[in-house]
């Protein structure tokens, strides 16, 4: 399916609720990550591995941060990238679905270069989703150590408790969480904005940092060390990709409204306020955020507000990872896992239990191993800067080949985006041995899973295609084979809508029996988020009591076999008693050997993934008491 020639707002904002209500909920879900970056960004720029808090250094760093947030988030993501929605859904896999088929999958098998690039970006986001909750909550709890040394030992245990609570409430869904988190984040952004404004008033000279001249001068004076500082400056924009990934939860317009009306001004005021504090008190560079309030009760109050704010910061990436997982499953890049819809109104609001608890365990282990946010900061930024660069490249492909933009227009935009993304990524690569290996390692594992799953499924389809039986010949040959046709309805699930399903031919060969009514059902995934129910099911009568049913779903839909059969049975040609229908499902066991096209190692890994994937019976919600599973052994 080809993408439209131009982006449209028609689907991007098809959400229930007023723009103001959706914007409030979006503040509680989407902006938590980027909204709590002031906790640690300036601290890392002037901390142990940063630069001294001199007057010129302060103006240079603050200028870099201000312009990074402006250009990366406001210009790149809000003005351009978020226009590339797939019927309202955002994220790097939704962006891949907009790429024309001839580029996305030229050979119709394997993984193309464009798809591989997107999978790398998606894998990096999984790595970022593990680090974000750990560093966000840990940095907030470290404020207790600023207030009093007596509470330093409680920082890690409290962080673990908060993280455990955060992942425990995910089952409630982003709609309910957003209603709770939205007002808290409004208070957070209002507070950090007012704190920043109060310090700007005491040192108005910081306003000079709005000029990019100071950022350029900083690079000229510090050379290579100034370039390395970009690895800390990028922390200010690490939530940018989450804005795009979470677009399907609330819509483009509410996200833009919330950013321009509250989030963006508050962040600018807070960063410049920390800069103003350092102009007056350079010694506050160890903890400039908590240094904006007087010691004592005010620090405790700020920690009490920062704690829930950083919990909310984690939510942006968690929600994005949930959406990413569902898209990857439906597009055939990830093993089937349980996906629960948590809202009856908004299709994009989901909960993925297996991924949720995997993230929970990984985040808690990170906190226990690294202990301090400054140690985790070295690992932060590499994953998201890599994903941002990949997003820029795929956006170029979409704008050039799907929307028909001119090479000059698309190329100029790509050059501008990469001028921001590549320096950030290169600077973060310098932190590889200080912790940058962590998100890359996690990303490599997820990339191996996605690529192997796709290779394995393609090899399985090719295996069956090579041995496929012509369906017309199969039907015509049944009377001469002495096959008994008892009353009843048999539903055979088939991965392909061509030929006779292997599970059906295998059953007839062994049992010499087949029901009088046979429904061959294929569920396909389109490169769109959702398919309207009225357009979903197509029924074809094949004669001899055989019917083919093809159901089309989007990559954000949850397919259900019973729903498909119910809709198909509305056709007068097909009579089905849902209570007595028998569903036949194939279950393959893969024999890893060197004889197959995958090889022993790849097939062994694919077999492991297949055994641990959710069964077709459970994933497609087939009534378990009416299922007959037919097993086969296959060497791919």
Longest Cα–Cα distance in the chain = 95
* Res. 326 pLDDT band, cuts 50 70 90: confident
3-class DSSP state of 108: coil
Cα atoms in the Cβ-side hemisphere of radius 13 Å centred on 476: 5
**Predicted local distance difference test score (pLDDT) of residue 193:** 96
- For residues 97 and 493, the model is more confident at 493
Return the percentage of the chain with pLDDT > 70, whole number.
Answer: 93
Q: What does residue 87 show for φ and ψ, rounded to 5 degrees?
A: 55, 45
Beta bridge partners of 633: 589
pLDDT of the residue at 438: 85
In whole angstroms, give the CA distance from residue 32 to residue 328: 24
Check residue 15 and give left, alpha or beta (phi > 0: left; psi -120 to 50: alpha).
beta
Quote the CA–CA distance of 172 and 174 in Å, as a whole number.
7
Cα(317)–Cα(29) distance, integer angstroms: 9
pLDDT for 176 equals 60
Contact 258, 23 (CB under 8 A): yes
pLDDT on residue 275: 96
Helical axes 113-141 vs 437-466, angle rounded to 10°: 140
Query: When comparing pLDDT for 143 and 74, which is higher?
Result: 74
pLDDT at 104: 83
Q: What is the pLDDT of residue 349?
A: 67
* pTM of the complete model: 0.83
Identify which of 554, 564, 536 has the alpha carbon closest to the alpha carbon of residue 1.
554
pLDDT 10s digits, 269-293: 999 999 999 999 999 998 899 999 9
Would you place residue 391 in the very low, low, confident or very high pLDDT band (cuts 50, 70, 90)? very high
Angle (deg, nearest 10), helices 407-429 and 213-228: 50
Three-state DSSP class for 489? strand
Q: Which whole number is the average pLDDT over 342-354?
A: 68
Q: How does pLDDT run across 511-565, given as a tens digit for each residue?
A: 999 999 999 999 998 878 788 888 899 999 999 999 999 999 988 788 899 999 9
- Under the banding of pLDDT at 50, 70 and 90, the label for residue 215 is very high
If we measure between CA atoms, which residue out of 540, 470, 477 comes closest to residue 514?
Answer: 477
**How far are the Cα atoms of 285, 325, 395, 529, 580 from residue 97, in angstroms, in the given order?**
45, 15, 11, 9, 39
- Domains along the chain with CATH numbers: 19-456 (1.20.1740.10), 470-634 (no CATH)
User: Could you tell me which residue, 250 or 357, shows the higher pLDDT?
Assistant: 357
Pairing of strands 489-493, 517-525: parallel
Is 50 exceeded by the pLDDT of residue 329?
Answer: yes
If pLDDT is split at 50, 70 and 90, which confidence band does 348 have? low
pLDDT given for residue 5 in this prediction: 43
Rounded CA separation 62/83 (Å): 29
In which order are the strands placed within the sheet that holds 517-525? Answer: 537-543, 546-553, 517-525, 489-493, 582-590, 627-634
Please give the pLDDT value at position 490: 96
Mean pLDDT of the chain: 86
User: What pLDDT is recorded for position 175?
Assistant: 57
Task: Rounding to the nearest 10 degrees, give the CA dihedral for residues 15, 306, 160, 352.
Answer: 10
Q: How far apart are CA 170 and CA 382, in angstroms?
A: 26
Distances (CA, A) of 199 to 54, 188, 194, 293, 447: 17, 17, 9, 10, 46
Residues near 375 by beta carbon (within 8 Å), at least 6 away in sequence: 435
């Amino acid at each position: 399916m080809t993408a439209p020639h131009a982006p449209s707002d028609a689907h991007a904002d098809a959400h229930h609720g007023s723009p103001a209500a959706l914007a409030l909920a979006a503040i509680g879900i989407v902006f938590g990550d980027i909204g709590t970056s002031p906790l640690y960004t300036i601290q890392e720029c002037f901390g142990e591995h940063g630069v001294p808090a001199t007057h010129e250094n302060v103006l240079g760093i603050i200028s870099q941060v201000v312009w990074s947030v402006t250009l990366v988030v406001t210009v790149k993501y809000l003005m351009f990238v978020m226009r590339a929605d797939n019927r309202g859904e955002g994220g790097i896999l939704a962006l891949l679905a907009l790429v024309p088929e001839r580029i996305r999958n030229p050979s119709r098998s394997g993984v193309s270069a464009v798809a591989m690039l997107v999978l790398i970006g998606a894998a990096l986001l999984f790595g970022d989703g593990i680090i974000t909750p750990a560093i966000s909550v840990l940095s907030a709890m470290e404020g207790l150590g600023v207030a009093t040394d007596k509470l330093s030992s409680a920082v890690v245990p409290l962080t673990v408790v908060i993280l455990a609570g955060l992942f425990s409430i995910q089952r409630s869904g982003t709609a309910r969480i957003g209603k709770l988190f939205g007002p808290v984040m409004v208070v957070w952004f209002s507070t950090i904005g007012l704190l920043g404004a109060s310090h700007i008033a005491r040192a108005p000279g910081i306003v000079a940092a709005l000029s990019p001249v100071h950022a350029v001068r900083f690079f000229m004076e510090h050379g290579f060390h100034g370039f390395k500082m970009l690895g800390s400056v990028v922390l200010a924009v690490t939530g940018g990709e989450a804005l795009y990934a979470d677009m399907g939860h609330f819509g483009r317009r509410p996200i833009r409204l919330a950013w321009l009306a509250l989030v963006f001004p508050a962040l600018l005021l807070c960063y410049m306020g920390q800069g103003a504090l350092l102009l007056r008190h350079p010694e506050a560079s160890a903890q400039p955020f908590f240094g904006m309030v007087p010691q004592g009760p005010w620090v405790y109050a700020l920690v009490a507000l920062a704690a829930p704010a950083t919990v909310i910061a984690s939510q942006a990436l968690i929600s994005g990872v949930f959406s990413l997982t569902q898209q990857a499953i439906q597009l055939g890049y990830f093993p089937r896992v349980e996906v629960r819809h948590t809202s009856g109104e908004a299709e994009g609001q989901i909960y993925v239990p297996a991924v949720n608890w995997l993230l929970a365990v990984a985040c808690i282990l990170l906190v226990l191993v690294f202990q301090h946010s400054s140690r985790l900061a070295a690992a932060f930024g590499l994953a998201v800067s890599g994903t941002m660069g990949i997003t820029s490249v795929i956006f170029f492909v979409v704008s050039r080949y799907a929307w028909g933009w001119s090479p000059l227009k698309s190329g100029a935009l790509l050059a501008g985006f990469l001028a921001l993304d590549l320096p950030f990524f290169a600077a973060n690569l310098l932190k590889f041995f200080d912790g940058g290996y962590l998100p890359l390692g996690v990303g490599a594992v997820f990339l191996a899973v996605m690529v192997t799953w796709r290779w394995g499924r393609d090899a399985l389809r090719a295996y069956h295609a090579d041995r496929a039986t012509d369906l017309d010949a199969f039907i015509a040959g049944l009377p001469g084979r002495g096959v008994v046709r008892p009353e009843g309805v048999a539903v055979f699930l088939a991965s392909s809508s061509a030929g006779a399903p292997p599970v059906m031919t295998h059953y007839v060969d062994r049992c010499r029996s087949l029901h009088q009514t046979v429904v061959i059902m294929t569920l396909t995934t389109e490169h769109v988020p959702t398919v309207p129910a009225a357009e979903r099911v197509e029924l074809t009568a094949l004669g001899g009591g055989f019917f083919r049913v093809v159901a089309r779903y989007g990559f954000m839909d949850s397919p259900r076999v019973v729903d498909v059969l119910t809709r198909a049975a509305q056709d007068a040609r097909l009579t089905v008693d849902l209570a007595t229908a028998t569903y036949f499902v194939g279950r393959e066991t893969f024999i890893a050997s060197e004889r197959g096209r995958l090889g022993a190692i790849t097939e062994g890994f694919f077999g492991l993934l297949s055994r641990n994937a959710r069964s077709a019976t459970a994933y497609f919600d087939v009534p378990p008491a009416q299922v007959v599973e037919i097993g086969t052994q296959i060497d791919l």
